[in-house]
Structure 1
Amino acid sequence: MTAAAIPAAQPRSPAMIRRAVISSVIGNGLEWYDFLVYGFFSTIIAQVFFPSSDPLVSALLTAATFAISFLVRPIGGVLLSTYADRFGRKPILTVMILIMGFSTVLIGLTPSYATIGMLAPILVIVARILQGISVGAEFASATAMLVEYAPPRKKMLYGSFQMCSQALALALAAFSGYALSTLLTPEALQNWGWRIPFLLGSLITPLGFYIRRFVDESPEYEKDSGPKVKQTPFLTVLAEHRSALLRSCAIMIPGTASNYVWFIFLPGYVVRQLKLPFTSAMLSSLIGGILLFIFVPIMGQLADRWNPRRVWLCGMLGFALLSYPLLSYVVTVPSFERLLIVQAICALPIAAIWAPTPGLLAGMFPTTVRSTGMSIAYNMVVLLFGGLAPFTLTWLVAKTGSDLVPSYYLIACTALALLALWQADRGEARR
């Protein structure tokens, strides 16, 4: 796997480096916290905003609303990432966190369908669209900022901080679900309790905005800006970096599938399909998130010292081989203990997938089109293998009657990633 060399960053003070890391992690963490909370409370949200006499129809409508923000992601991601490549990472990251905060508040404050009728699901859809526009470029621009601030030989570690924020968001979202479902009655949780995580998540927005205002521009971007900046980064990526784009998509598929299937779809799945208590799903996800938060930076350091592609391949193949037997283990005799064991075992290979992914993606593109290139790959893969995953899997489980469909999906995603990577490497070798 070849990659564009990432030039060494110009020296920055330790305080400024910490500020850049924190600002990038906060924005990405807020994005994933909101998405995870929406996924965890999807059963309740379905009843509040999409009531139906058929539970399957209600679940599909909620999954479709989850997916709608991903449909606008490529548009928002490309436009905002192009802006980040032309004018800098800092201004666009500052704007995006404000949009994310507003959309999160909107979901938390929207009255139920029983109160305002069709306006309720419309407002939720508007909020999801705003989130899609904002977060479409958040991952790419924040990752570019992190990797470009990183000292030499620490690119993978710094990139892994982006994934640490996702693990932390998973733990916080699961903790909120577990705490609320334990402290509140089912009626209180459905009536108003589910809104608390959204409203609490929005409180971090002012802090993120404040920190991002006082972060210097990426040192590598400053070095390569000026006459080197591309006027049409999007067209440049498509014309000059097609192989890197295909390779980036291949790298993204396993991490995206593992995240959306294992940590967003699975908690609702075990409650709805396997009839486990909601608290069991939340507590298991909480422990899984904590383990990921511990393992991801360790794998990031290993990727810097060993080889990021090998770490990624080992994690991907390990997770693919484990997904079927572990899910079968849970499905055969559903219980909290079995679910917890499965989540704990999978944390290590998933961490090996997640940790080197941001650094590998950043290394595929030169600084002047890095944000745009990563955004195109990220949003294409997240749309196909993330946003549509809950809807697709809910429909497939209902049609096939098989509780093991999620494991087949993960194995298929792994095979597709290997095929795309092989095609990209083959094309590069021919050239």
Structure 2
Amino acid sequence: METTFPPNAADHPPASLASLSKSQIRRAVLASVIGNGLEWFDFLIYGYFAKIIAHVFFPVGNAALSTTLTLGTFAVGFIVRPLGGIVIGAYADRVGRRKTLSMLILMMAASTLLMGLTPGYSSIGIAAPLLVLLARVMQGLSVGGEFATAAAMLTEYAPRGKKMYFGSFQMTSQAVALVLSSAFGYFLTSNLDRASLESWGWRVPFLVGALVGPVGFYIRHKVAESPEFVELRERLGHAPRQSIRGFFRQRGDASLCAMGVIIVGTATNYLWHTFMPLYVERQLHLPLKNALFGTAVSGLVSIVGYPLAGKLADRIGAYRLFFPVTIVWVVIAYPLFAWVLASPTPGRVFAAQMVATVVLSLMSGPHPGMLTQLFPTATRSTGVALSYNIAVTMFGGLAPLTVSTLITVTGSNIVPAYYLIFAGFVSLALVGLTRSGQRLRRDPDALALD
């Protein structure tokens, strides 16, 4: 069925980037990043209060099993993300970025609100964990297409030579969410007793996060469609369309390269930001607020670090930056964890968090631009969504559960370091051995062929 485009001013922006005003570009940047920020705010809050959520919704009488069930529910949101990525990515490539982003912000807000309002197991029994599971599935499906569509919107608004810099604002939104979520967590854990946290305190951030939904929808609904998408649609004379089989046949190599780009960064991100608070409490036996303070500072550093990394990638080539940064991280991951474990103090945890933050900024700041560079406009959202979500599901969303389980089985607290080293080698192999990665390393300005 042919997709139609109703006559709306927002659907027909100026065809060229040169004719866009600064206010239009600023509005597009804000519309792109606001949903990603909400996504990360919700994810991080869930991780920070994992022990409390376990007690509220999974009171099985065994602390380790209860936490595992909570992290398993957290992981479910990632398991459904590739499905959401395929469906929503294809939808965004057919009807446009603006309409898709407007729909996604409402879905995310609804799932966040459900999480914050669901009564505990003591009130409604088995319905409580089932509703939490539903909220995670809803969020997983919606965010399956969120990162890719927003990244496409950002880079398609960016002038040539600034794709990595513009794309880095998608990562900056994660840093802002990191600051806000950890600040919420630090404030609540510092000012509320355990009973208050369990009864209502942990819900406050979810309810506040849900308020972003209507504001985000308004901003996204008013933004103009991506100039590159409009140009493609006018050139084709109809909505872009491609079968999944055709996509894999033509873009399989690019998809593997894209997964390689993401794997080491997402493993680092989820271990140091989502899993670290739990690790600090259970393995290092330090107060939760120590980890949350370092996480908040990490977010502040990243707000500056991501755009600087994007600028550097535009200057020297993102794929040329990727290899040395990843190799350095593989080399220092073990000594960094070993140093913290040798004498677990708040000072050492904080120092290690800062080192990881600097490396992660250099590594992940260019990610949105790097991914969108691999795929042409007609399949960009599909390609980025599929690659990104598979990589994030396998090495990011499942990382807390995987590492926590391996620590329990092996009894070794150094497991996170081994996990990061493994992720680094996988990334280096996928990017280094694919034709797409080799081409972009030779020619940083190479574009995907339509």
Q: Structure 1-normalised TM-score?
A: 0.95
- The answer to whether the 8 Å contact 2:431/2:437 transfers is no
Aligned partner of 2:443 in structure 1 is: none
Instruction: Sort the Cα spacing of 1:305 and 1:286 in 2 relative to 1 into closer, same or farther, 3 A.
Output: same
2:192 pairs with 1:184: yes
Find the residue that maps to 1:53 and give its secondary structure: coil
Aligned partner of 2:154 in structure 1 is: 146
Find the residue that maps to 1:225 and give its secondary structure: helix
Aligned-pair CA distance for 1:424: 0.9
| Residue type at the aligned position of 1:275 | H
Find the residue that maps to 2:220 and give its secondary structure: helix
2:282 pairs with 1:272: yes
CA–CA distance in structure 2, aligned partners of residues 167 and 31 of structure 1: 12
Question: What is the aligned counterpart of 1:244 among 234, 247, 254?
Answer: 254
| Residue type at the aligned position of 1:85 | D
| Residue type at the aligned position of 1:302 | L
In percent, how many aligned pairs have the same letter? 44
2:364 pairs with 1:357: no
Find the residue that maps to 1:383 and give its secondary structure: helix
- The answer to whether the 8 Å contact 1:300/1:356 transfers is yes
Instruction: Sort the Cα spacing of 1:317 and 1:384 in 2 relative to 1 into closer, same or farther, 3 A.
Output: same
| Residue type at the aligned position of 2:171 | M
Aligned partner of 1:285 in structure 2 is: 295
CA–CA distance in structure 2, aligned partners of residues 170 and 77 of structure 1: 23
CA–CA distance in structure 2, aligned partners of residues 307 and 345 of structure 1: 23
| Residue type at the aligned position of 1:348 | V
CA–CA distance in structure 2, aligned partners of residues 272 and 109 of structure 1: 28
The farther-off stretch of 268-277 and 7-16 is 7-16
| Residue type at the aligned position of 1:13 | S
CA–CA distance in structure 2, aligned partners of residues 116 and 19 of structure 1: 43
CA–CA distance in structure 2, aligned partners of residues 409 and 350 of structure 1: 15
Cα RMSD between the aligned structures? Answer: 1.6
- The answer to whether the 8 Å contact 2:255/2:387 transfers is yes
Superposed, which structure 2 residues align to 1:59-208 within 5 Å?
A: 59-208=67-216
Question: What is the aligned counterpart of 1:419 among 423, 426, 429?
Answer: 429
Aligned-pair CA distance for 1:234: 3.0
- The answer to whether the 8 Å contact 1:98/1:209 transfers is yes
CA–CA distance in structure 2, aligned partners of residues 317 and 203 of structure 1: 41
Instruction: Sort the Cα spacing of 1:132 and 1:10 in 2 relative to 1 into closer, same or farther, 3 A.
Output: farther
| Cα deviation digits, residues 193-244 of structure 1 (max 9, x gap) | 0001101111111111110011000000111114275422533321111111
Aligned partner of 1:330 in structure 2 is: 340
The farther-off stretch of 282-291 and 322-331 is 322-331
| Residue type at the aligned position of 1:146 | L
Aligned partner of 1:13 in structure 2 is: 21
| Cα deviation digits, residues 114-134 of structure 1 (max 9, x gap) | 111100000000000000110
- The answer to whether the 8 Å contact 2:233/2:240 transfers is no
CA–CA distance in structure 2, aligned partners of residues 8 and 64 of structure 1: 46
- The answer to whether the 8 Å contact 2:323/2:428 transfers is no
| Cα deviation digits, residues 4-40 of structure 1 (max 9, x gap) | xxx9845311111101101111010000110011011
- The answer to whether the 8 Å contact 1:156/1:303 transfers is yes
Aligned partner of 1:383 in structure 2 is: 393
- The answer to whether the 8 Å contact 1:362/1:374 transfers is yes
| Residue type at the aligned position of 2:69 | L
| Residue type at the aligned position of 2:402 | T
CA–CA distance in structure 2, aligned partners of residues 427 and 373 of structure 1: 15
Find the residue that maps to 1:302 and give its secondary structure: helix
- The answer to whether the 8 Å contact 2:16/2:227 transfers is no
Gaps of 5+ in 1: 1-6
- The answer to whether the 8 Å contact 1:233/1:372 transfers is no
Aligned partner of 2:377 in structure 1 is: 367
CA–CA distance in structure 2, aligned partners of residues 216 and 202 of structure 1: 24
CA–CA distance in structure 2, aligned partners of residues 426 and 248 of structure 1: 9
Aligned partner of 1:33 in structure 2 is: 41
Question: What is the aligned counterpart of 1:321 among 312, 331, 334?
Answer: 331
Gaps of 5+ in 2: 1-14, 440-450
Aligned partner of 1:209 in structure 2 is: 217
Find the residue that maps to 2:73 and give its secondary structure: helix
Q: Structure 2-normalised TM-score?
A: 0.91
CA–CA distance in structure 2, aligned partners of residues 201 and 65 of structure 1: 20
Aligned-pair CA distance for 1:322: 2.0
- The answer to whether the 8 Å contact 1:234/1:373 transfers is no
CA–CA distance in structure 2, aligned partners of residues 121 and 96 of structure 1: 24
Q: What number of residue pairs does the alignment pair up? A: 423
- The answer to whether the 8 Å contact 1:315/1:351 transfers is no
